[in-house]
Amino acid sequence: MAKAKEFLIPRPEEPASNAPPSAAAASVVGISKRFGKASVLENISFDVGEGEVLVLLGASGSGKTTILRIIAGLEMPYTGKVILHGKDVTELPARERGVGVIFQSYALFPKMTVEKNIGYGLRIRKRKRKEIKETVNELLSLVQLEEHRKKYPSQLSGGQQQRVAIARTLAYKPEVLLFDEPFGALDTQTRVHLRREIRALLKKVNVPSIFITHDQEEALELGDRVAVLNVGHVEQIGTPFEIYNHPATEYVATFLGAANVLDCVVRQDSIEVGSAQIPATLDKAKFKPGDCVKIVFRPEDVSLHRGDLPRSTHPRLANAIIEEIAFVGAYERVRLRVEAGPEECKTEETPFYLTTETPDRKPSKSIIATRPKPEASATRLHVGERVVVALTSFTVLPPQGGKGAN
Amino acid sequence: MSSLVPAMRHVRGFDVARPLSIGMLVFMMLPLVFLPLASIFIFGTSNGLDKFWAALTAPEAIFALKLSMATSFWATVFNVIFGLFAAYVLSRYNFLGRNALIVTISLPTAIPTAVAGFALLLLWGPYGTLGRLLAPHGFQIMFTAGAIILANIFVTFPLAFGVIKPVFDTMSHSLEEASATIGATRWQTFWHVTLPSLRGAIVSGALLTFARAVGEFGSTILVSGNLAGRTQTAPLYIFAKFNEGQIEAANAIAIVLALFSFLIFSVLFFARDWLDVD
């Protein structure tokens, strides 16, 4: 969450919808996969548009690598189809699909120079020597490795090897580029630098790409759209903005950075959290008065006030006691204890020993708020102080998955 | 194989153990290795170089050397190709009996060479299991150069395999997968990606096999018939001449064989690093 503020700056193409920007360049339709009796993928479907970057984001074991291997043809799906530019390639072997895979280990050929590696795809396609030379030169300048052309992979840095791997796949004009955790083996600084470089590169060459990663920051920065995977199924697909600000499920909310989740009850035109009524327009089809649901909000969506809330500002959530204040560089992190959700919706029992601290002995819960530096230095807060908590933005999650409103 | 030997830092001042232990090592090797080798050269050249040269260029001697080289060469070609193939199959696929196969391939080095020669005779010889059926058709491989190649193949069977397989085992699978996604066929992948990584292993496997085959005696003497000028290899020539009391003739060939193995192992020692340089 260290860079929370950074990726909140909306991209120019905002706001996009769930549909890919243009006709699908690559589609996965109803893919499932089993290893023995264990089901690793269940009915996965998504499209990647022409020139679009889709990120598959998931924890290890979410099945993201398996999806990539199925698209590449290195693994057979149990059911479902893989379609590349309108052609069903499910039955084709890897070498006839024309996809480019960038492996985490780069998988550069150790006994070939940079030039030879890049030209490999064209050499085995029996292209003319002159054509190969021209393409290799073009790609070398595209990935800025001209002076390293005669070197062997072991003489290059991780980032340089990665760029050779990309150039090697671009040489034969792949239908789609597949990146298998491409920055996993690099240190943080190189990783951040390289992913910006690669995003710019992908926009230049306009090849549809699928990245897989477990790093949410990377996903938000790289992707035109992000698909969040959880144990073999897609939780949500959307632009980084949508995924971050309007998570469809609790998993998405908590996987993408810090999120506060509280129980609440749906009322007419509002939701009830603790003793507060927060006005909300909810989809009548999904939310019925009396439903137990969850409200999700980011630490930066919390605003803290001393004394009463000024009129006509953001809705009040609760009164809270400050439990902890920590300085974490770019901002200040405050842990607060607030009243927990309504009695009727208690999903988990708050153990008695956790509640004894609170003065009124009502069930309570910790939430996290962050305050930017200027605000933190303008109004200093102290541990033990009572404040009023208001929300600048929040999402209500429907009872079972599906998309909420705010 | 690098010369970076860590210094013994825990000893202060002059380390007496150093010259003592080195001297001890050389002294122990003196009667065991150095002196026997040296005496070949001393004896072989004691009657003058022209005598030595005459012994070396005797037609039978030349023939024996040529036969040794030729039979060893073909055995090496076969065993390197076979070793590559066997290593590929046994490291890429897992199947029932895989371990049994690996043990069987490695077995021939453990079998006494005389037993190996005897076994070949029992199979291919005029009264052997297969030989009996083939003899009436005029097919007789025993007591020919073919028999020597067969014996060489048998006794050097696991050498190339043993060097190549570990390299296969440690080779990253993603290289071959990458090659496939780029569009290469299995054969192209093998030729352009897999084989180059095996370069060092193939060369050292071949040299080991060749060196071992050139020196083979026990099985060769049984299956070749030891016919001078027809099926007599260099080691058999040394043995025959020694038995006839022609020490000089035996000695000349012995010098050639000794120099030859020295050469091969020098190449093995220095070329391995060079071949594996990326």
Is residue A201 domain-shared with residue A72, that is, in the same domain?
Answer: yes
Residue B270 C-alpha, separation from nearest chain A C-alpha, in angstroms: 19
- Asked if residue A15 has a cis previous peptide bond (ω within 30° of 0), the answer is yes
- Amino acid (one-letter) located at B114: A
Domain assignment present for residue B104? The answer is yes
Residue A40 C-alpha, separation from nearest chain B C-alpha, in angstroms: 21
Q: Is B181 on the interface with A (CB under 8 A)?
A: yes
Radius of gyration of chain B measured on its C-alpha atoms:
23
Q: Is the pLDDT of residue A195 over 70?
A: yes
The pLDDT, as a whole number, for residue A46 is 93
C-alpha distance from residue B166 to each of A232, A268, B96, B161 (Å): 36, 72, 20, 9
The pLDDT, as a whole number, for residue A348 is 52
Residues in B touching A164 (Cβ below 8 Å): none
Is residue A205 domain-shared with residue A67, that is, in the same domain?
Answer: yes
The pLDDT, as a whole number, for residue B182 is 94
pLDDT digits (tens, 9 = 90+) for A103-154: 988 899 998 999 999 999 999 999 999 999 999 999 999 999 999 999 999 9
Q: What is the mean pLDDT of residues A319-324?
A: 88
Residue A184 C-alpha, separation from nearest chain B C-alpha, in angstroms: 15
Interface test with B, best of A66, A68, A69, A74 (most B CBs within 10 A): A74
Residues in A touching B175 (Cβ below 8 Å): 107, 109-110
| Number of other residues whose CB lies within 10 A of the CB of residue B53 | 10
Q: Which residue of B177, B179, B278 is in closest CB contact with A110?
A: B278
Beta strands in A10-139 (DSSP E): 24-35, 38-49, 53-58, 79-84, 87-88, 99-102
Residues ≥6 apart with Cβ < 8 Å to B170? none
Confidence of residue A31 (pLDDT cuts 50, 70, 90): very high
- Number of domains chain B is built from: 1
Is residue A272 domain-shared with residue A311, that is, in the same domain?
Answer: yes
Q: What is the mean pLDDT of residues A209-219?
A: 91
Domain of A385 in residue numbering reads as 258-397
Residues ≥6 apart with Cβ < 8 Å to A361? A355
pLDDT digits (tens, 9 = 90+) for A333-364: 999 988 766 666 655 555 555 544 444 556 67
Domain assignment present for residue A136? The answer is no
Q: Is B180 on the interface with A (CB under 8 A)?
A: yes
Q: Which residue of A72, A107, A112 is in closest CB contact with B172?
A: A107
Lowest mean pLDDT across A86-95, A396-405, B159-168? A396-405
CATH of the domain at B180: 1.10.3720.10
The pLDDT, as a whole number, for residue B108 is 86
Domain assignment present for residue B13? The answer is no
Residue among A124, A125, A129, A167 nearest A146 (CA): A167
Q: Determine, for residues B181 and A95 on separate chains, whether the beta-carbon distance falls below 8 Å.
A: yes
The pLDDT, as a whole number, for residue A355 is 47
Is residue A295 domain-shared with residue A377, that is, in the same domain?
Answer: yes
Contact A320, A313 (CB under 8 A): no
Q: What is the mean pLDDT of residues B247-254?
A: 90
Is residue A246 domain-shared with residue A285, that is, in the same domain?
Answer: no
**Spatial separation of the C-alpha atoms in residues B176 and B172, rounded to whole Å:** 8
Domain assignment present for residue A219? The answer is yes
Q: Which residue of A111, A154, A172 is in closest CB contact with B182?
A: A172
Instruction: State the pTM of this model.
Output: 0.77
Q: Domain boundary at A252, A276, A292, which?
A: A252
Domain assignment present for residue B9? The answer is no
**Spatial separation of the C-alpha atoms in residues B12 and B46, rounded to whole Å:** 49
Q: Is the pLDDT of residue A403 over 70?
A: no
pLDDT digits (tens, 9 = 90+) for A304-315: 888 777 665 778
CATH of the domain at A181: 3.40.50.300
Beta strands in chain B (DSSP E): none
Q: Determine, for residues A95 and B174 on separate chains, whether the beta-carbon distance falls below 8 Å.
A: no
Domain assignment present for residue A124? The answer is no
The pLDDT, as a whole number, for residue A266 is 86
User: In the beta sheet, which residues pair with residue A339?
Assistant: A364
Domain assignment present for residue B17? The answer is no
Q: Is B170 on the interface with A (CB under 8 A)?
A: no
Q: Is B185 on the interface with A (CB under 8 A)?
A: yes
Q: Domain boundary at A228, A252, A276, which?
A: A252
CATH of the domain at A380: 2.40.50.100
Confidence of residue B9 (pLDDT cuts 50, 70, 90): low
Domain assignment present for residue B31? The answer is no
Residues in B touching A98 (Cβ below 8 Å): 183
Q: Determine, for residues A97 and B181 on separate chains, whether the beta-carbon distance falls below 8 Å.
A: yes
Is residue A328 domain-shared with residue A287, that is, in the same domain?
Answer: yes
Residues in B touching A105 (Cβ below 8 Å): 172, 174
Is residue A234 domain-shared with residue A292, that is, in the same domain?
Answer: no
Percent of all residues in chain A with a pLDDT value above 90, rounded to a whole number: 40
pLDDT digits (tens, 9 = 90+) for B185-215: 999 999 999 998 888 889 889 999 999 999 9
pLDDT digits (tens, 9 = 90+) for A70-85: 999 999 999 999 999 9
Domain assignment present for residue A127? The answer is no
Q: At A304, is the secondary structure helix, strand, or coil?
A: strand
Residues in B touching A120 (Cβ below 8 Å): 179, 182, 184, 192
Q: Which residue of B172, B177, B183 is in closest CB contact with A124?
A: B183
Average pLDDT taken over every residue of chain A: 83
For B26, what's the count of Cα atoms within 13 Å in the CB-facing half-sphere?
5
Confidence of residue B72 (pLDDT cuts 50, 70, 90): very high
User: In the beta sheet, which residues pair with residue A271?
Assistant: A266, A278
The pLDDT, as a whole number, for residue A24 is 84
Domain assignment present for residue B186? The answer is yes
The pLDDT, as a whole number, for residue A342 is 64
Interface test with A, best of B175, B181, B186, B199 (most A CBs within 10 A): B181
Residue A234 C-alpha, separation from nearest chain B C-alpha, in angstroms: 26
The pLDDT, as a whole number, for residue B129 is 86
Q: What is the mean pLDDT of residues A277-294?
A: 82
pLDDT digits (tens, 9 = 90+) for B179-188: 999 999 999 9
Q: Determine, for residues A103 and B177 on separate chains, whether the beta-carbon distance falls below 8 Å.
A: yes
The ipTM value here is: 0.76
| Number of other residues whose CB lies within 10 A of the CB of residue A197 | 15
| Number of other residues whose CB lies within 10 A of the CB of residue B81 | 12
The pLDDT, as a whole number, for residue A343 is 61
Q: Determine, for residues A109 and B193 on separate chains, whether the beta-carbon distance falls below 8 Å.
A: yes
Q: Determine, for residues A120 and B179 on separate chains, whether the beta-carbon distance falls below 8 Å.
A: yes
- Number of domains chain A is built from: 2
Domain assignment present for residue A142? The answer is no
For B177, nearest residue in chain A (alpha carbons): A74
Domain of B165 in residue numbering reads as 47-276
Average pLDDT taken over every residue of chain B: 88
pLDDT digits (tens, 9 = 90+) for B108-122: 878 899 999 999 999
Q: Comparing A259 with A398, which gets the higher pLDDT?
A: A259
Is residue A234 domain-shared with residue A376, that is, in the same domain?
Answer: no
Is residue A240 domain-shared with residue A311, that is, in the same domain?
Answer: no
Confidence of residue A13 (pLDDT cuts 50, 70, 90): very low
Percent of all residues in chain A with a pLDDT value above 70, rounded to a whole number: 85
Domain assignment present for residue A141? The answer is no
Q: Domain boundary at A252, A276, A310, which?
A: A252
Domain assignment present for residue B18? The answer is no
Q: Is B274 on the interface with A (CB under 8 A)?
A: no
